[in-house]
Each structure stands twice: as structure tokens, then as C-alpha cells.
Amino acid sequence: MFDLELEFVASIADVGAEVWSSAAGCDYPFTRYEFLHALEASGAVSEDRGWQPHHLVIRRSEQLVGVMPFYIKTHSYGEYVFDWSWADAYQRHGRSYYPKLLSAIPFTPATGPRLCLVDESERSSIMAILAKALPAHAKELGASSVHILFSRAEVANTWSQEGLMQRIGPQYHWYDRNYRDFDGFLAAFSSRKRKGLRKERRVVLEQGLSLQVLPGAEVSAEQWRFFFHCYQLTYAKRSGHGGYLPETFFTELAATMPEQLVMVLASHGDEPVAVALNFRDQHTLYGRYWGCVREYEFLHFEACYYQGIEYCLQEGLRHFDPGAQGEHKIQRGFTPILTYSNHWLVDADFSAAVQRFLDEEHLHIGDYLRQASEMLPFKQADGT
């Protein structure tokens, strides 16, 4: 196992679609070659934008063992695991937190694989090697730290056992509990919560709105242009800029991986007024982007949540990850869950301080999750 060759490359195109896909596969959309290539080809990630591609390719005797997306970061935007306070602490002590070495999917806080292997049986032994090799490589780069974001729980626990500090955070996900259809889902609600949700859906229709769910292959060029207009409007409202992703990123995805795209389009009469874009794999729907040209009561919930749940039930998907944040999702049947990341810092003193911070944060988030779970709309054991 110790004859592994680790190579870091500055572009996913230098790896090639065939090689990358032989380890990463084509199911989880965000480690697909096509997705990561679209980010680079469109200019969404680059050295100039503080996302310098630095992907890891692992070989043994010239045979591919695995791949892992990495970036050299010079800021903390677009990550959704917030470490600005760590960077501030470094600065206050006259040290630099950037650059840092990051394994994540840019602008995508979705849990999934990061270390992608040809042979899963080698995972534990390869992770043990990387837990030593990655910090050594960070030192060679002059980076302050190594970060691996939104890993699955069992993988994050293994990284933790290998010496990378673990951080947790909350999200809100939907799971199919054998509901069969949307009415079956609502039947699990308490009476009051069920009436409230049905009212929201009814109000959407009473405003003269109609919604359609379009597989990626059926989305027209005009509909893609409308989506991108809405995408920019959303970022302009929230952040004062037009978004991290250029239009060419989405047009490339539409051409290369349409089978994993699902668009929800809302119209008032013949006029499109709002849109939500989702990704999917065999088991999960991932809600990613939303925008509208006009505000309508409850339309966001319908387009981003209820249509997604209906799609999952119709398609046999067991899990719906609607994106980061949004405590309002809980009363609509999205369960509070934990997300996981792992971190290693070169500086031992800062590492000890961060570990104390994470220990305290862990307790607070555990308490929050217990309290948040009490807000779920489902019937109690007594049926109320």
C-alpha cells in the first residue's frame, strides 16, 4: 500500500474524462468530470477567483487508484463551512490563513464523496496514508491548513480518527418514510400542520400559477436563459452581485449531463415567473438554485420543496437535500441532520484553539438539533 504515487494537477482536463470517471463514476453529480470541468471551462473557478484547481490523482504502478477534487483557496467564499473567524484570528496574530488547501465542491454544500476510489476495499488504508501526505503537501505549498468539506458521516469519522479535526453543522433534509405519494406524506403530519401546508399549496393555485417539472433534456434554450436571469436576480438581491457561476457553466451542464438536471418552472398564464433547478442521482434530489421575476405568496415553498418531494415520490428517490440553511424547512417535513467536515492546521497553537472551539460548537449544535427536531410537523405517538 505504501507504493502509492500522488500527483496534483492544475486542471481536471489534465486528468481527462475517462480517467477521472473511472474512479468518480457518473452517479453523484458533483464529482462528475462534466460538472467539475464546466466550473473550470466557464471560469467559475480559477486562480484569479481564489479557487485554483489542484486535484489529486492517486496511482499505483501507473494504474489509477483514485481521485479527489482539491483547490488552493485564497479566501473562504463559496464553501458554506464558515471559517472566517479562524482567518481573523490568524490576521490578528500577524499570520496568514491563506492560502489553504481545500477538498470541496465549489459553491455546493451537498454531502457526498470527496475521495473517489476505484476499489472501495482500499479506502481505510488509503485514507491513513493521505492523512499524513496531505498535511505534508500543505506545508510544501506554504498553506495554513487542509479542509475536507461535506463528507459522509462514516468517512468524516475516519478522517477524525486519522487526526483531522471534525466539525459538524445543521441542514434540513427530506426522507421518504414509505409515503407512496404526497397525500401519504401529509397523512404523517399533525392535523393543524397538514391544514397549513395544504393552504399554502392552494394559495399558489389561487394566484393563477401553474408549475411544470422538466427533465434536463426537455429544457429549451429560452428556458435556460430565463433560469439564468432569475439566478442573477437572486444573487443581486442577496449579495449585490450577479452570482458565482456564469451562464456558460449552465449551458455546458445542459449539454453534457442533462439526465441529472431537473427544472421546476412556474408560470402565470403563459409568462414564466420563477424557476428552481435541481440535480439528481439514483437515490437523491439536490435542490440548488432558485429565482423569480415577481414575488408570489408561498411560491418559493411550492417550487423548491413541494414539487421536489412530489418528484422524489414519483421517481423513487428516497432522499431530498434542498440546500443549506432554512429553519423554515422543518415545519414542512424536512428533518434536521448533521453535516460533517474535517480540518488540519499547520500551526499547533492555533490547532489546539480551534479544537476547543469545535468541542464547544459541537455541544451547541447537538442541543440545537434536539430542539429543532421538536419542531417537526409529524404526529406524536398519541396521534395528535
Residue-by-residue DSSP string for 88-139: HHHHHTT----SEEEES-TT------SSEES-GGGHHHHHHHHHHHHHHHHH
Q: Which of 268, 255, 256, 327 is nearest to 303 (CA)?
A: 268
Q: How many Cα neighbours within 13 Å face the side chain of 202?
A: 6
Total residues belonging to the chain: 384
Angle at 164 between CA 158 and CA 166, to 5 degrees: 80
Q: What is the pLDDT of residue 1?
A: 45
- Judge if the upstream peptide bond of residue 99 is cis by omega within 30 degrees of 0: yes
Question: Quick one: cell of 211?
Answer: 408549475
Say if 4-169+337-373 and 177-317 have the same CATH topology: yes
The one-letter amino acid at 308: G
Structure pTM?
0.96
Determine how many CB atoms are found less than 10 A away from the CB of residue 127: 18
CA dist 31 and 263 (Å) reads 20
Cα–Cα distances (Å) from 331 to 28, 190, 194, 326, 327, in that order, read 28, 11, 10, 11, 8
Angle in degrees, CA 248, 21, 132, rounded to 5: 105
Domain 4-169+337-373 sits in which CATH superfamily?
Gcn5-related N-acetyltransferase (GNAT) (3.40.630.30)
Domain edges within the chain: 4-169+337-373, 177-317
Which pLDDT score is estimated for 9? 98
What confidence score (pLDDT) does residue 382 get?
47
What does the block give as the cell for 157? 469519522
Position 2 scores a pLDDT of: 56
pLDDT less than 70: residues of the chain: 1-2, 381-384
Looking at residue 125, its amino acid is S
pLDDT of residue 3: 87
How are beta strands 271-280 and 284-292 bridged, if at all?
antiparallel
Confidence at residue 384, expressed as pLDDT on a 0 to 100 scale: 54
Q: How is residue 82 written as a grid cell?
A: 464558515
The superfamily (CATH) of domain 177-317 is: Gcn5-related N-acetyltransferase (GNAT) (3.40.630.30)
Cα–Cα distances (Å) from 84 to 54, 88, 98, 296, 309, in that order, read: 22, 6, 11, 35, 34
